[in-house]
Structure 1
Amino acid sequence: MTQHALRRFGLDEIWWLFSPGNPLKSNGPAPMSERIRVANALIQHPRVLMSDVEARIGTRYTAQTLRHLVSAHRDTQFVWLMGADNLIQFDQWKDWHWIIENVPLGILARPKSRLAPLSAKAAKIYASSRIPQRASHRLADGPTPRWCYVNMPLNHLSSTQLRGDA
């Protein structure tokens, strides 16, 4: 998914942000140090950085993290990447309107979630801000709100299975 996103969205870098915990999930993740160790073993790429910024700055929500990053890195154009399955419940995220109105969204279609996300509340509200797949490499180049939904070669393994936590 990471290397596909680098190519499709024309990104300079990808920062993997490791969250202390997802507010929308009842069970917590594996310890952060273990998740970062496993991620580093999975992908070693000069344009991919692993970050525990959310734990260091004490943020719990994506919008808080993005506000911090945008403020701390004023010369950087951020793009928020997420799997298409997250678009389905994106309207439940804290300050989700702020996210899409301030940071371009790169949505990557995962197994079994190619069509349903396009009917999601956020997708409908911001339908006029969607750019076509063929222009995905220009996602960061325009005004927000701006989002792009791309189909990617599918790997039916979940992130948990890839890490070996299953």
Structure 2
Amino acid sequence: MQKPMPDTAATRIPEWGDTRCCRIGLLGGSFNPGHVWHRAIAYRALVELQLDQVWLMVSPGNPLKVGQDMAPFALRLTTARQLADGRRVVATDIEARIGTRYTVDTIRILKNRFPRARFVWLTGADGFAGLSLWKGWRRLVHCVPIAVFPRPGVNARALRGAAGEYMARWRVPARQAGRLASLSPPAWAFLPGVQNSISATQIRQQGGFRVPADQSTPPDLRTTRRKTGEQS
């Protein structure tokens, strides 16, 4: 298991932004705890979306999960840092520092503070299936391109759900997903490939709030990728 990244200026994303021109994937979530799926998606996104960096954005509090069993923020951030390398995949508490709870607000602030960055929102099919429950979700899809990654048992429901139907006209073929960061939203792609059924809920139910031990080496996603049968 990797050691947690130290909380230093070298590993923290600047709250007020900078002028670097780069392509950044944003993988937000509770990370309650962070697990192998988060890590696999981050590294796959780097390759297939041609990104410079992926930020694991740990939410200080998900409004849709109020009342659920939630570990302290510092512990959740630690599990996310155990998934990151501190260079191309970076765990961050930036939402807590800028004071946002809703993704649409976070994206608006990040685009303002990092004016030369090109962001792509990364989500699983389970998150995409529930996107219509998010605050300002229609504004969100007009703010940032979105990449959707498969999750067992929910892919068809996600693609046929309210968000999938609303966004159908702006869907980009999976083979062109490397263009997402350069496209003006709305734009999105579903990327069929390796699926993993692991979930934070499953890890907690098994009595272990920890990062699985098999994550010490980044997966070679270019050689392990396989089709799921979903249409791309």
Common fold by TM > 0.5: yes
Higher helix share: 1
Kindly indicate whether residue 173 of structure 2 is the aligned counterpart of residue 132 of structure 1: yes
Q: What's 1:42 paired with?
A: 83
Q: What's 1:158 paired with?
A: 199
Structure 2: gaps spanning 5 or more residues:
1-40, 211-232
1:110 aligns to what SS in structure 2?
coil
CA contact (8 A) 1:21 1:28 kept: no
Q: What's 2:45 paired with?
A: 5
CA contact (8 A) 2:57 2:91 kept: yes
1:112 aligns to what SS in structure 2?
coil
Distance 2:203 2:45 in 1: 18
Relative to structure 2, which stretch is displaced further, 19-28 or 118-127? 19-28
Kindly indicate whether residue 64 of structure 2 is the aligned counterpart of residue 24 of structure 1: yes
CA contact (8 A) 1:83 1:108 kept: yes
One-letter code aligned to 1:51? T
What's the CA shift string for 1:33-61, capped at 9, x where partnerless? 11121222233262011111111111110
Distance 2:83 2:184 in 1: 34
2:155 aligns to what SS in structure 1?
coil
Structure 1: gaps spanning 5 or more residues:
none
One-letter code aligned to 1:11? L
- 159, 182, 185: which one pairs with 1:144? 185
- 77, 81, 86: which one pairs with 2:127? 86
What's the CA shift string for 1:2-57, capped at 9, x where partnerless? 11111121111101111111111131531121112122223326201111111111
Distance 1:159 1:10 in 2: 27
RMSD: 1.8
2:119 aligns to what SS in structure 1?
coil
One-letter code aligned to 2:121? W
Distance 1:152 1:5 in 2: 12
Q: CA deviation at 1:128?
A: 0.7
CA contact (8 A) 2:84 2:91 kept: no
What TM-score results when the alignment is normalised by the length of structure 2? 0.67
Larger radius of gyration: 2
The runs of 4+ residues in structure 1 deviating greater than 3 Å are 159-164
CA contact (8 A) 1:110 1:152 kept: no
* Change over 3 Å in CA distance of 1:159–1:137 after alignment to 2: farther
Q: CA deviation at 1:160?
A: 4.7
Q: CA deviation at 1:66?
A: 0.7
* Change over 3 Å in CA distance of 1:159–1:12 after alignment to 2: farther
* Change over 3 Å in CA distance of 1:133–1:139 after alignment to 2: same
**Aligned residue-pair number:** 166
CA contact (8 A) 2:128 2:163 kept: yes
* Change over 3 Å in CA distance of 1:38–1:78 after alignment to 2: same
One-letter code aligned to 1:165? F
2:91 aligns to what SS in structure 1?
strand
